[in-house]
Structure formats: C-alpha cells, structure tokens
Amino acid sequence: MPSVVYKFGGTSLGSAECIQKVCDIIYADEPSFVVLSAIAGVTDMLESFYASSAQERLSLLRDLQKKHEAIVRDLNVPFPVSSWISRLFPYVNQQHLSVADRANILALGEDIAVSLVKAVCRSRSLNIQSLEARDVILTDDNYSRATPDLSLMRRSWKDRQLSANTSYIIQGFIGASQAGETTILGRGGSDYTAALIAEICNASEVRIYTDVSGVYTMDPKVVENAQRIPELSFEEMQNLARFGAKVLYPPMLSPCMRAGIPIFVTSTFHSTQEGTWIYAIEREESLEPKITALSLRQNQSLCSIDFSSLDQGMDELVYKLHSLGIFPELITTQNHTCSFILDNEGSSSEKLQSLQHALSTFRVVRLHHDMALITIVGSGLSCPKVMSTMMEGLHLQVAPLFCSQSSKVLSFAVMSSCAESIIAQLHNDFVKQDI
C-alpha cells in the first residue's frame, strides 16, 4: 500500500482542542508519516529569545513554559514541559549567539510539538513511533536555510527498517548537516519536510492540513468573498506561492513536481474534507485572458538603476548586486535603466538602511519603499489589453510604477496603503471572468 504523508501546521496545534483534533485525524486515517510544525506562536517566541538580552530571555522562558503548560493541563497527559524548556538555559546569558545556536533554539519548537502529540496519541493507544528529522533530512551546513542532500537522504532511507503498519511522526522544519549539527530549512520549512519525505518514500499523496479549506482565489483575510479553487497545476501554485500566497512554502513544490506526487490542501477543523488538489495539469493555452487567482506581497521596495556606465551592462549589474547580498526579482529593462523588486518581508529598519547604503554605489534613478506587489496568475495575460482594462476598471489615472507581464503571470507594484483595496476590486471585477 503506497505511503501517505500528512503535515499539520502551527495553527493546527494552537490549543489542546486543536491537538485533540489532529490526533482524531491521525487515529482515523493512520497515515504513514505525520510531519508537525511547532505550536502556533512558539517559533516567533524562540526567534525573540535568540535576539533578546539575558533579562528578556528569562521572561520569554517563563512565557514559553506557561504556554506549553496550559496546553498540557487541558490535554490531561503527563508531559515534562520544564525538562524541555530547560534546554534553553545554556543560551540565556550568552551575549553573542551564533547561527548554529539559532538553529538549535528554533528547532526546540518542533521537538516539543512532536513529543507532545506523540504522548497524546499514545494515551489513545495509537501505534505511533517517532522518526528523528535529524536522521532523515540530511543537509549542507547552512544553518539558517539548509539545502537537503537528496542522494545522502536516499542512502540513509534505504537502511531504515520501517513498519508498514505503524504511523511515524517527525519534526518539520529541521534537519542536520553531515557533522550531525542541527540545521533549519527556513520559515515554513515543515511543508518542505513533508514533500521531501514523500519523495524519498515514493508516497502517493502529500496532505497539508491548515486553518483554511484549500487554496483560495485570494487570501480570505483580505478579500472576504474569495473562492476555494478545486484544483491547480504545480506551475500555478508555484507562481502564487512565490509571489505571496502563504498557504504553501514555495520550495516544497519541487520534490512533489520531480516525483509527480499530488498535494491536497485542506482544513484541520472542517470535517467536509473540501480542499484543493495540486498536481501536474496540462492546460490548453487560452487566447482570452482569464484570472485564476491573485496574491499580495507587502513590504516591498522598488528600485531603478541606470547601468549605462557599466562595461558589461546588465550582467555586471546583477553580479554586483548579488555580491552585496541584494537579490532582485522581476527584473525589467528599458533604455539602460534596470527596474526590479526587492522583498523586505521580515527586514528591520537597520537592514533597509544597509540596503540603501549598498545601492548608493550605483546610479539609482529611484528607490521606493512601502510598496506592495500584486500578482495575477492565469492565462492569456500578456495580451496588451489586460493592463489597460484593469487600469480602466480601477480608475487609475497613472500606470503602476512597475509592471512585469507574461502569458501566465502579471505582477505590478503599487503603494502599500492602497494595495488591499486595489486587489479587492480586481478580485471582484475579474476573477473567473474573461477580461
């Protein structure tokens, strides 16, 4: 019988009631593998712990302990919260924590979640065993955004004696270098873990459990009348995830695409099992423009640089930007001017200042912060009338400051302050309709 991989995110583990619901699903379905994120809010608390002073860290330790103790009390299972939290004690008074320390600190959230859910499942006589992520997700030594080594993982997997009649529970988000040191896959990396496990065990399906019943035409928190999409191609989901849709972590799609494994996104909390299937679909190229879904990415910067003085033109410009740690997206050029988007999500004001300093070595034509990137995914979007029709419908007097257009993806930048109202109107006017 083919393996099935289930993944439960942090919102699915946010309370005792949520955890009981997760255990109900595991008990009913007996999936081959269960991948877990940290309990909702815990990774953020651990990030704060890493970045704080000693006094603040002690306060955060108490908060972490209280948060987990409250859930354990409501679950009514024996669980050593204090013992787990004590693993952070060695870091409290350290002034300079390394990136390796950060990986160890952040991994604690997933370690606790797996141990706790396993304890609840065991209390219900479910045959479930732990599978240590550090023994399975083998990576390079980039502690903050590790790259999995698939050949090593496959060799390691072949040596495992796993029972077909047992469910295995594993931490998402974390792995280990060849030296055995903890690494992390990046925020949202639990999705990636599930996809990697599915690829190496040749699973028939990856099921992502979250707090919404699938992928929607736009984030329902921004657009109330967003509609659930029954199915998407890998390419469509890749474009949505890349440009702001939070429902899936973009790198998770690659393993599933390589192995041809379908993904089903559904809700932990709605028993109807409605959701969105994501798999390889060959769609006919539409001549008429159609919008499948929209996404929004806030906290962007728009930069335009004159590269006419550079001997090797654009190639030299991109090389210099990369050497400064600047990774432009959606590059467009016109008359020796290069325009691009920079994603500043999670960036501090200090990081933005260093970005501005780095860019000062170039002939910057313009630099706008507080921008948002609106992306439309569909077909026939390179048609010239698409942008003009939308502008007319939005009553925009001037064109957006930046636009990148292809047949399947159209992205444009607007001021953050008006982005949500623009995307809501676009959704109401054009989604599922011919433009």
Q: Is 210 one of the annotated binding-site residues?
A: yes
Instruction: Give yes or no for a contact between 355 and 326, defined as CB atoms under 8 angstroms apart.
Output: yes
Q: Is 246 one of the annotated binding-site residues?
A: yes
Backbone angles phi, psi at 342, to 5 degrees: -120, 130
Backbone angles phi, psi at 357, to 5 degrees: -65, -45
Q: Is 320 one of the annotated binding-site residues?
A: no
CA atoms within 13 A on the CB side of 242: 18
H or E element in which residue 322 lies:
helix 313-323
Q: Is 211 one of the annotated binding-site residues?
A: yes
Q: Is 43 one of the annotated binding-site residues?
A: yes
Q: What separation in angstroms does the CA of 151 have from each of 140, 158, 176, 182?
A: 12, 11, 14, 19
Residue 54 neighbours by CB distance under 10 Å: 11
Non-local CB neighbours of 263 within 8 Å, separated by 6+ positions = 195, 205, 206, 207, 208, 237, 248, 252, 253, 256, 277, 278, 279
Instruction: Give yes or no for a contact between 412 and 400, defined as CB atoms under 8 angstroms apart.
Output: yes
* 356-362: long-range contacts, CB 8 A cutoff, minimum separation 24: 358/324, 358/325, 358/326, 359/303, 359/305, 359/326, 361/320, 361/324, 362/305, 362/306, 362/307, 362/317, 362/320
Residue 422 neighbours by CB distance under 10 Å: 20
Cα 327 → chain centroid: 18
CA atoms within 13 A on the CB side of 216: 19
Instruction: Give yes or no for a contact between 35 and 198, defined as CB atoms under 8 angstroms apart.
Output: no
Q: Is 307 one of the annotated binding-site residues?
A: no
Non-local CB neighbours of 91 within 8 Å, separated by 6+ positions = 49, 50, 57, 97, 101, 105
Q: Is 91 one of the annotated binding-site residues?
A: no
Binding site feature residues for ATP: 7-10, 210-211, 216, 246-247
Binding site feature residues for substrate: 43, 110
Binding site feature residues: 7-10, 43, 110, 210-211, 216, 246-247
